[in-house]
Chain A
Amino acid sequence: MVMSGLRNSVAFVGSADTEVGVVPGLSATELCVQAALSAIHDAGLDKSQVDGLITCNAMAQPIMYHAEAMAEYLQIFPRYCMSVNTGGGTTFSIIHHAAAAIVTGMADTIVISMADSLRSGMTREQAAKTQSSTGHPLYEQIYGLPVPAYYALIAQAHMAEFGTREEHYAEIAVATREHAVNNPAAQKRDRISIDDVLSSRLIADPLHLLDCSLVSDGGAAVVLTSAERAKDLPNDPVYLLGVGEGHSHEHISQARTLTTSAAKESGQRAFAMAGLTVNDIDFAQLYDCFTPTVLIELEDLGFCAKGEGGAYVASGALRSGGALPVNTHGGMLSHCHSGNPGSMFALTETIQQLRHATGPRQLDTAQTALVHAQGGIMSSHTTMILGREPC
């Protein structure tokens, strides 16, 4: 089946981040609303022109009818309204759904807004426990693994199978931090070395503290509309060229393999829809809850062969000026990670890069980008390919 259905049909016309990092005094709901209003303003629209709203529930302030509650707070009255939950993968799977809703006429202009307050709205123990509830309640959680330990099982398996080294994982943290240095909004901006990563304390072997993403507050929102309507709005539209999903398991003990993820399927589906290959991609934003996640995504998305992720990152590919700059805002490792909304910031950064509006960290080759998010323990994957021009 040729999956070209959504290609070039919708475009991002608005994007905004709230303040991120440690943001006391603003609840998850308030951050979500702020993000939505800023994105609507950025798009040059009035909230009365929004007829679709998609949100994701917040861990710090869960609400049973989340999207409906946000619409009420905003006093908008959408004809398309839903909240979705596939963890970190939610951010991009909802774009897939929103694009389909626009193409089928369920809505014309959809705001996608997500925020959470993991740092200021929860205790450290609450945040750790809520996130690790991704483990099977009867057959995994009983052993007490925090989330980093689940990912460490994947990291260790990759090392045993392919000879990947801790230094390779560390290079991903170093390259990401290098990008964050140029982003004034990033939570962590001090340069780090591979030695700094390896000498930071072990959290779950082989993962050190600096292999782990941050715990943050923050929200972001985007506005999606049809490519046709996008032409009449003030910003340069950023087109959705391709999108695909892959779902292989929920619990890591049930994964088909530990070292190949469903990013392989989501990537193939996105590239097939766009009619493009990895050679067309100028930069990428890859889900970086932990450094090994990035390495496996690079392989599964086809930027290097399976097992060669270590050598690929060691070449400096991910750094500014490298073969494939990755997480140009600083990712969740250095910019912020507010839970499920984590990769919304990768999306807003991509939109700004493709508008050529990121100032000192602007990549001059930014024409076509790949963004990838996953949720669970490498469980639920969505890949999107975005471009300055339709393809």
Chain B
Amino acid sequence: MSNSAIDAHFRDGCEQGQLRLQRCTACEYVQFYPRVACSACGSDQLKWFVASGQGKIASYTVVRLPISQQFADLVPYVAALVDLQEGPRMMSVIVDSSPDQVCVGQAVRLAFRQWGSAEQQPIFTVVAPQN
């Protein structure tokens, strides 16, 4: 799907249970998805690091119609935009919770799991509220 070494490095991270992000050494901006240059300042001096896995739900929906057969057993499921603690936002899914346990602003934690036909995709679980 992509012959990019950057995309491959990100993919290797997933297989090792790491969400790899890029930080710009010139301006400190952290970006996702990975790119050849900093999307804030244009510098190509980027350093990979592993995300903490902490995030918050920016928005979510419940997918009730599968886009294709490969997602048919998964519906209904919660898809969400997650704001990572390090700054960037990413698309993902929230697993192991019913939709009514999910809300905007909810804290979530990263995990890796098979999703659709792909192994080791970054997914998130709801962080249990502290008593």
Indicate if the CB atoms of B90 and A139 lie closer than 8 Å. Answer: yes
A258 within 8 A of B: yes
Please report the C-alpha to C-alpha distance between residue A331 and residue B71 in the assembled complex, in whole angstroms. Answer: 31
**Contacts A160-B105, A253-B90 hold; do A144 and B61 have CB atoms under 8 A apart?**
no
Indicate if the CB atoms of A203 and B65 lie closer than 8 Å. Answer: yes
Q: How far is the CB of A254 from chain B (nearest CB, A)?
A: 8
Indicate if the CB atoms of B91 and A140 lie closer than 8 Å. Answer: yes
Q: How far is the CB of B120 from chain A (nearest CB, A)?
A: 11
Indicate if the CB atoms of A144 and B1 lie closer than 8 Å. Answer: no
Indicate if the CB atoms of B59 and A258 lie closer than 8 Å. Answer: yes
Indicate if the CB atoms of A157 and B67 lie closer than 8 Å. Answer: no
List which A125-157 residues lie within 8 A (CB) of chain B.
125, 128-129, 132, 135-140, 142-146, 148-149, 152-157
Contacts of B64 in A (CB 8 A): 201-205
What number of A-B contacts does a CB cutoff of 8 Å give?
A: 102
A35 within 8 A of B: no
B63 within 8 A of A: yes
Q: How far is the CB of B95 from chain A (nearest CB, A)?
A: 11
Indicate if the CB atoms of A156 and B61 lie closer than 8 Å. Answer: yes
Counting chain A residues whose Cβ lies within 8 A of the other chain, the interface size class is 35 or more
Other-chain residue from A129, A154, A203, A253 in contact with B91 (beta carbon distance below 8 A): A253
Instruction: Give B31's nearest chain A residue, CB to CB.
Output: A254
Contacts of B92 in A (CB 8 A): 143
B7 within 8 A of A: yes
B130 within 8 A of A: no
Q: How far is the CB of B70 from chain A (nearest CB, A)?
A: 7
Indicate if the CB atoms of A154 and B59 lie closer than 8 Å. Answer: yes
List which B1-20 residues lie within 8 A (CB) of chain A.
1-2, 7
A11 within 8 A of B: no
A252 within 8 A of B: yes
Indicate if the CB atoms of A142 and B121 lie closer than 8 Å. Answer: yes
Q: How far is the CB of B23 from chain A (nearest CB, A)?
A: 18
Indicate if the CB atoms of A157 and B91 lie closer than 8 Å. Answer: no
Contacts of B74 in A (CB 8 A): 144
List which B94-117 residues lie within 8 A (CB) of chain A.
99, 103-105, 115-116
Indicate if the CB atoms of A143 and B61 lie closer than 8 Å. Answer: no
Which of A143, A160, A206, A207 has most B Cβ within 10 Å?
A143
List which B112-128 residues lie within 8 A (CB) of chain A.
115-116, 118, 121
B66 within 8 A of A: yes
Please report the C-alpha to C-alpha distance between residue A132 and residue B103 in the assembled complex, in whole angstroms. Answer: 24
Please report the C-alpha to C-alpha distance between residue A139 and residue B121 in the assembled complex, in whole angstroms. Answer: 10
Contacts of B118 in A (CB 8 A): 142
Indicate if the CB atoms of B116 and A149 lie closer than 8 Å. Answer: no
Instruction: Give B117's nearest chain A residue, CB to CB.
Output: A142
Contacts of B68 in A (CB 8 A): 125, 128-129, 144
List which B49-70 residues lie within 8 A (CB) of chain A.
58-68, 70
Other-chain residue from A125, A146, A206 in contact with B63 (beta carbon distance below 8 A): A146
Indicate if the CB atoms of A205 and B99 lie closer than 8 Å. Answer: yes
Q: How far is the CB of B30 from chain A (nearest CB, A)?
A: 14
B93 within 8 A of A: yes
Indicate if the CB atoms of B59 and A139 lie closer than 8 Å. Answer: no
Indicate if the CB atoms of A139 and B91 lie closer than 8 Å. Answer: yes
Please report the C-alpha to C-alpha distance between residue A142 and residue B71 in the assembled complex, in whole angstroms. Answer: 10
Contacts of A160 in B (CB 8 A): 59, 103-105
15 A-B pairs within 8 Å (CB atoms) are namely: A138-B33, A139-B33, A142-B118, A145-B63, A149-B63, A149-B79, A153-B79, A153-B81, A156-B60, A160-B59, A160-B103, A204-B64, A205-B62, A252-B81, A253-B91
Beyond the given pairs A144-B71, A153-B80, 12 more chain A to chain B contacts, judged by CB atoms under 8 angstroms and listed by A's residue number, are A138-B7, A143-B93, A144-B67, A144-B116, A146-B66, A146-B67, A153-B61, A155-B61, A156-B61, A157-B59, A160-B103, A205-B99
B residues adjacent to A (C-beta < 8 A): 1-2, 7, 32-33, 58-68, 70-71, 74, 79-81, 89-93, 99, 103-105, 115-116, 118, 121
A residues adjacent to B (C-beta < 8 A): 125, 128-129, 132, 135-140, 142-146, 148-149, 152-157, 160, 201-207, 251-254, 258
